[in-house]
Structure formats: C-alpha cells, structure tokens
Amino acid sequence: MNQESLSFTKGGLQPITKFIVLGLLSLSLLIADSRLHITERTRNNLLSASAPIQRVLQLPQTWWKYMREFVTRQNYLITANDNLSRQNTLLSAQVARSQTLLRENEELKQLLHLTQNGVKPVTSAQVISTGRDMVAVRFTLDKGSEDGVSTGQPVIDGHGLIGQITAVSPHNSQMTLLKHQNTIIPVMVARTGYRTLIYGDTTHLDLRYFPLEEDLHAGDILLTSGIDSHYPAGIPVARVIRLETAAGTPYYRTVVQDFGSAQTIRYVLILPHNRPQEVIEDSLPETKIQNKG
C-alpha cells in the first residue's frame, strides 16, 4: 500500500489556516450585515416561508390547549350547575317550609282570637292523620280522654264548625267531618233566626228541607242553633251559595258551602258539650259583620 495515500493534509490548507480564513470571513459577513443589512432580506424571506410550517407544527399544541380549557370549563360548569341545583332545591324547601309555618301561624292566631272572644273552655289539638282515603271524612287528633276529650264534642277551626269527636282513646281522638253521611246539624239562618237542619252528604253539606215560604237568600250564613246537646249556638257552619225553586216540591233547591277548611287545617279547637242557654257570640269577625247587616 502506498504510504502517501494515508496523508490527509497533503496538498491542502493547514487547519490553523482554515480557521483563520473562516474566522475572517465570518467577521466580514457580520460587519457587512450590521452595516449594510445584506442578509436581512434573506432572513425575512426565510421567516416568511417558514411561518406556515411553524403554524402547522404548533397546531397540536394549540388544539391540546383548547381541549384542556374546554374540558376544564365543562367540568366547572357541571359543578356549578350541580351546586345551583342543590341550592335551588334547598331554597325551594325553605320557601315551602316558610309558607307552611306562615299558614300554621295564621291558624293559631285565628284559634287564639276565638279563645279570647268567649269560646272557652276549649282543648286545642293538632291533626296527626287524615287516613288513606281519597276523600277523608275522619281525622285523628293528638288529644284523648286523658286530656278531657269525650265523644260528641264539636270541633272548630278559625272559620267555623268542621266536625265532631266520634271516638276517643287515652291519647288520641277521632274527628268525623260534617260532610259524613250520618251527620245532622241543627242550624239557623243568621239573618232571620229561622231554624232548620243541614245534612252531611259524603262530599258536601245539604240543606234539604227549607220551605219556599220562608225568607232565604244567596249569601245567608247558617249558624248552629244550639237546640241539641252537642253544638253550642252561634258557630258558623255554612253559607248559602245558590238557591232555586223546583217544580213539584215545596222546598228550595240549594247549594251551600261549609266554612271549615278541614282538608288543609292542622290545628283545631275541641269545644265542650252544649249546655242549656249556652251561646257563643262574636266568635268570628265575619259573623259579626253579617249579623250587623
């Protein structure tokens, strides 16, 4: 093998010479570029040409950032919506509870008004059960024989008569509503004093036998007459809503509406049995207005 073929420097510049030449060339280009801006246009052209490539290369990072922000926003919105739903449910429950408390407070105020206007001695009670029937006619109260309650006592709310005690245990009692089919209540027309009977008819009250020759008008109030041993006189029972004459009968055909609100009431008063000459006067503001008229 020829020894001369192993030489890498023969016939060329020495490394130190190459270094000096390239260094001077680089320094010259730097000076020329800084003074004459020779490479600026080339650099700008290269940057413009490479901009689309850079944007394409940045797309995965941009999409990843967008998806991460989207997922973060979605999670935040879902969490916020869940919190708002819980708060709305809580506020709705609080509003419903407040409305219930307001209604109960109104009931208690009406009962207190009755006790302050001559309806006593009485026993206050709370409705604790309305049974399972669609049209309940018997309610369970939280007072019984140990509280002095006995069968036959009338039960009122803040508006008028709603029922009668029909069964008693030591700690509870059963109230049967006026609309029960076996109910018969002696009543009188508050405006004229005419006495008659009103009957329960399962779903409503029925004024069956009111003679045509007697004075009766729509709007007349029917009060307990007090001629039996159960209901004291003067308790509002119902109002005449409509009446008409019917051919072939000597009686009015009437529609009456009871004053009591048994389906929504929660607190009631249990009155004592009727005593001779016992009259409940001025028990309700509405009664006083009608009697003055």
**DSSP annotation of 182:** T
Domain membership flag for residue 191:
yes
Q: How many folded domains does the chain comprise?
A: 1
In a domain, 105, yes or no: no
Q: How many other C-beta atoms lie within 10 A of the C-beta of residue 155?
A: 28
pLDDT, tens only, 121-152: 678 888 888 766 656 788 899 999 998 999 98
Highest mean pLDDT among 15-24, 55-64, 168-177, 230-239: 168-177
Q: Which alpha helices (H) appear in the chain, and where do they start and end?
A: 15-36, 40-115, 285-292
Q: Cα separation of 187 and 226, whole Å?
A: 8
Query: Is the pLDDT score of 241 beyond 90?
Result: yes
Domain annotation covers residue 112 = no
Task: Note whether 218 and 240 are within 8 A (CB).
Answer: yes
In a domain, residue 70? The reply is: no
Confidence (pLDDT) at 159: 82
CA–CA gap between residue 99 and residue 106 (Å, rounded): 11
Say how many C-beta atoms besides its own lie within 10 A of residue 131's C-beta: 12
β-pairing verdict for 195-200 and 205-206? antiparallel
Give every CB contact of residue 22 below 8 A, 6+ residues apart in sequence.
none
**Amino acid at the residue 194:** Y
Q: What is the C-alpha to C-alpha distance for residues 234 and 236, in angstroms, rounded to an integer?
A: 6
Q: What is the mean pLDDT of residues 98-106?
A: 62
Predicted pLDDT at 114: 56
- Percentage, residues of the chain above pLDDT 70: 72
| Residue 131 covered by a domain | yes
Tell whether the model's pLDDT for residue 170 goes beyond 50: yes
SS3 call for 195:
strand
The boundaries of the domain holding residue 166 are 123-292
> For position 217, which CATH number holds?
2.40.10.340
Q: How far is CA 75 from CA 72, 78, 172, 255, in A?
A: 5, 5, 55, 61
pLDDT at 104: 60
**Residue with token string 């739903």:** 85
Look up tokens 């000096």; give the residue. 20
Q: Give residue 278's pLDDT.
A: 43
Please give the residue that has the higher pLDDT: either 245 or 103: 245
Phi then psi for residue 87, to 5 deg, are -65, -40
Domain assignment present for residue 241? The answer is yes
In a domain, 146, yes or no: yes
- d(CA 192, CA 180) in angstroms, rounded, equals 27
